[in-house]
Chains A and B, each alone.
Chain A
């Protein structure tokens, strides 16, 4: 039985997953980072070091677009954190009430937007908010707020916030579900112990439940961060690759797509595209590391 020390079955079990994962995900990732150090001169690939990044951050034509996209991306993320998490927590807290009837029905219905594709969501809201169709102004009129209506998606000042809110509408189901699960896992004894000390109702939520679901809120935040910083589909579906009006809704994903594939008169440039992808990689990496080392490791976990 000692003829071979190599356990072949372990290799057979691991090989397919490791090969596909390495070949399609890890190698292209590092290749993209590497490509950002090259440029094309007379159809030949030339090594230029950090020149692409110097262009990206230094050349005013590029750096303006880059900082615009990055700033928009942070605003996009900020709106998600500000609106999505509080509403998600509120809905989850209401749903976790054991005496509430039809709870499964509400959960299923509120999760519906999350399963729809960005194309459907983008166009559906574009139609609803459109001044041509007039559903939004008509409904505002019906409650006497018609004067508030503006073509939100078409105005530079409001289009990004509107798209962020549409995205929140779409993804609210995920924080709702995760926090709902966290709330259900809090044992009754803890709440009852709180009641004996006179902590009930709202204060039970603030003083007992909220601290216990903080780890879930942390996970939701980092998932939102990663999702937002490689978002593309919704903006592309609703506003096109040019992320109009006047690049007001341009985020890193659409910026990279335009640079990589070109648009209108500008030719596509895979090397500048790689440089933007590398910048996105660094931003996401910083976010994830910040979460892992600064937040998750300090958060107390409670064992029930």
Chain B
């Protein structure tokens, strides 16, 4: 074994650097959260102190609940994210299966065509996307967002899933064919369950950018009833800029759902990245 890897001094230094960076990473979140539970004067007088019996207050959260429609925003974000993920996974897996399983003319070309979108951001086409959504009457509906995020997620999903589907054993599929299963049954009943881990990876990769996106909600669905949580908190904070209690509480409430999702899925996410799915 490496000498350096055994040296206790080096290990202590490594812990030191990592602890310092962990503090840098978590400090802003921590400051926002503790101050959201304080009354106005303590926010300014002792910003780094934990809330105690004297300074504790939920007045910010009350403002947020009375003024902003955060439940509606949350519901919109949830619908958009879940529906987009569903379509990305379903359509992506189907296309990936076709590319991985069948030999047909133009297979490679189709794969390259679908992979184009991995590197070219969909935002470049925003002007024309907005025109199209206006023309089809989809502007200010959640469908506009769902369609855009589905198109945005498909290239990487097809790329990752087809890699995994090539590894599914041919014997299994051929056994199914001999038993008279249709190609559709083979896909849904035999192949899909086997690539479930890859599907989870794709889902987690897509979830965060969709949930956090500000650009498309701002442009395609800025109406009050279709605001997502990210856009809703942006607008709310913009209006309440001087009400520090409300701003801090709104920020905390925007942090909360992502943190919950992260705690649930962090293992999947980190395993997904480190398994080399995006290499």
Listed in ascending order, the chain A residues whose CB lies under 8 Å from chain B are 7, 9-10, 12-14, 16-18, 20-21, 23-29, 31-32, 35, 87, 90-91, 94-95, 97-100, 102, 104, 106-121, 123-125, 127-128, 133-135, 138-139, 169, 172, 174, 177-178, 180-181, 184-185, 191, 195, 200-202, 204, 216, 219, 222, 226, 230, 232-233, 236-237, 253, 256, 260-261, 270, 273-274, 277-278, 280-281, 284-285, 288
A200 to B127, CA, bound (A): 55
Q: Does B175 contact A (CB under 8 A)?
A: no
Indicate if the CB atoms of A115 and B258 lie closer than 8 Å. Answer: yes
Listed in ascending order, the chain B residues whose CB lies under 8 Å from chain A are 2-6, 11, 14-15, 17-18, 21-22, 24-26, 28-29, 31-32, 43-44, 47-48, 87, 90-92, 94-95, 97-99, 102, 104, 110, 114, 116-117, 119-132, 147-148, 150-152, 154-155, 158, 182-184, 187, 208, 211-215, 218-219, 230, 233-234, 237, 244, 247-248, 251, 254-255, 258-259, 261-262, 266, 269-270, 273-276, 278-279
Nearest CB in chain A to that of B187: its residue: A13
When A17-B91, A29-B128, A200-B3 are in contact, do A123 and B15 touch as well, CB less than 8 Å?
A: no
When A281-B120, A284-B120 are in contact, do A32 and B94 touch as well, CB less than 8 Å?
A: no
Indicate if the CB atoms of A21 and B129 lie closer than 8 Å. Answer: no
User: 30 pairs across A/B with beta carbons < 8 Å?
Assistant: A7-B104, A9-B183, A14-B110, A17-B95, A20-B87, A20-B91, A28-B125, A28-B126, A29-B128, A31-B127, A91-B21, A108-B266, A109-B25, A110-B18, A112-B259, A114-B208, A117-B214, A117-B233, A120-B251, A123-B251, A134-B47, A169-B25, A174-B273, A180-B274, A201-B3, A201-B4, A216-B279, A230-B124, A233-B212, A277-B124
A104 to B274, CA, bound (A): 12
Indicate if the CB atoms of A127 and B214 lie closer than 8 Å. Answer: no
Min CB gap A249→B, angstroms: 16
Tell me if B's interface is mostly helix, strand, loop or mixed.
helix
Min CB gap B157→A, angstroms: 8
Indicate if the CB atoms of A14 and B274 lie closer than 8 Å. Answer: no
Q: Which residues of A contact B254 (CB under 8 A)?
A: 117, 119-120
Choice from A174, A253, A285 contacting B120 with Cβ under 8 Å: A285
Choice from A21, A91, A119, A201 contacting B154 with Cβ under 8 Å: A21
Which are the 9 A-B pairs with shortest beta-carbon distances? Answer: A28-B125, A31-B128, A24-B151, A17-B95, A117-B212, A201-B4, A28-B128, A13-B98, A181-B274
Extra A-B contacts (4), CB below 8 Å, given A26-B117, A99-B5, A133-B244: A117-B211, A117-B258, A139-B48, A219-B278
A256 to B208, CA, bound (A): 24
Min CB gap A288→B, angstroms: 5
A261 to B14, CA, bound (A): 49
Choice from B22, B147, B262 contacting A115 with Cβ under 8 Å: B262
A99 to B117, CA, bound (A): 41
Q: Which residues of B contact A261 (CB under 8 A)?
A: 219
Q: Which residues of B contact A16 (CB under 8 A)?
A: 87, 90-91, 94-95
Indicate if the CB atoms of A32 and B154 lie closer than 8 Å. Answer: no
Q: Which residues of B contact A139 (CB under 8 A)?
A: 48
When A13-B98, A117-B230 are in contact, do A177 and B270 touch as well, CB less than 8 Å?
A: yes
Min CB gap A197→B, angstroms: 13
Min CB gap A259→B, angstroms: 10
Nearest CB in chain A to that of B278: its residue: A178
Indicate if the CB atoms of A18 and B44 lie closer than 8 Å. Answer: no
Nearest CB in chain B to that of A100: its residue: B14
Indicate if the CB atoms of A119 and B233 lie closer than 8 Å. Answer: yes
Q: Which residues of B contact A273 (CB under 8 A)?
A: 126-127
Q: Which residues of A contact B44 (CB under 8 A)?
A: 133-134
Min CB gap A94→B, angstroms: 4
